[in-house]
Amino acid sequence: MRNSPSLQQLNNSQQIYNVGYTIIEYLVHKWGKQKLAEFIRSYANFEKILGVSEEGWHQLVADNY
């Protein structure tokens, strides 16, 4: 899991399109659609809106994919 690319690295390489659905799945599963809307409005600021780092998303990917 530590070898997983950061969201910034994914975005810079355009790979975010291949894994972006996992981010949405994680947000809706853990916090619901309202937090997803806040997340989108905050320009994807995990820590500000959700109070966690992107590590939780990395864990979801490792556990499920």
Per-residue pLDDT of the chain (65 residues; tens, 9 = 90+): 557 777 777 767 777 777 778 878 888 988 899 988 887 787 767 777 777 777 877 777 788 77
Extents of the domains making up the chain: 7-64
Check residue 33 and give its pLDDT.
92
Closest to 56 (Cα-Cα) out of 27, 14, 17, 13 = 27
Check residue 13 and give its pLDDT.
72
Q: Return d(Cα 26, Cα 57) in angstroms, integer.
A: 6
Token couple for 38: 């806040």
Question: pTM for the full model?
Answer: 0.51
Compute the chain's Rg from CA coordinates. Answer: 11
Count other Cβ atoms within 10 Å, centred on residue 39: 20
Check residue 2 and give its pLDDT.
56
Reported as half-sphere exposure (CB side, CA atoms, 13 A), residue 59 has a value of 7
